[in-house]
Amino acid sequence: MPLDAIFELWDVIIPGPRCLLLFFGISVLISFRDKIINSDFDECIVIFSNFPAIDVKACTKKANQLFSETPHSITSHSTPPENDAELGEWLALMVCVPVPFISFEDVQRLQNVTAIIDVRQEALFRKGHLPNAIQLSPSKMSKVIPKLKEFQVSSNSTAIIAIVASHQSEASEVSEKLGAQGIKNVCIIKEFSCGDHLSAAELVGIELETTQNNAQNIVSGVVGMMTLGV
């Protein structure tokens, strides 16, 4: 990259948030998307080894757009901690969990474009679950996935699928299955990814619902209300 372009880039990256460089990298990939898709692995290596000329201004603009549209709690987990003592745990988490974590605060803020999927056993779900959460057991997966796709289409693919689980490996397994079926924007609610959900609810200041899972669980949609019949 030319030196003047590097200076222009650092003028944006250094004063910005830590994750802005990540979004800049994504914006570069987006700008070369067609070329990358039409190239094989070796050709892609050559492309990035030579680092073709890029429009720094356009990429930094796209990076800022991606940053503003992405829940901040997701990006906070994408960068390694400064504390070396926490680095090992962070690396292990990045390896074993295929999707990002999102905070419950962001889930509440984005509730109109978020479907909460509770993958715990139904007995645990009935004891207490997040408002509007949908209990998803393996037997219901085939019924729910088409509805989730409709929900995401109705939101122009911006809808978030937020997973609630008894433990992180359970959440990871379900999120991988959803991703394999073409469900986008899957993430795990950090406070409700393991352990005692009642204690987690007290920490975030909400009251869990104890109603039974029924066929009329409602998820707020971008356009009106959408029912996921499960």
Mapping DSSP onto H, E and C, the string for the chain reads: CCHHHHHHHHHHHCCCCCCHHHHHHHHHHHHCHHHHHCCCHHHHHHHHHHCCCCCHHHHHHHHHHHHHHCCHHHHHCCCCCCCHHHHHHHHHHHHHCCCCEECHHHHHHCHHHEEEEECCCHHHHHHCECCCCEECCHHHHHHHHHHHHHHHHHCCCCCEEEEECCCHHHHHHHHHHHHHCCCCCEEEEHHHCCCCHHHHHHHHCCCCECCCCCCCCEEECCCCEEECCC
The 10s digit of each residue's pLDDT in 37-80 is: 898 988 888 887 776 677 888 888 888 888 877 777 777 655 55
Chain mean pLDDT for the chain: 76
- The pLDDT value given to residue 76: 65
- Looking at residues 160-182, what average pLDDT do you find? 85
pLDDT over 80 (residue 204): yes
Q: Between 227 and 166, whose confidence is greater?
A: 166
- Looking at residues 108-136, what average pLDDT do you find? 85
pTM over 0.85: no
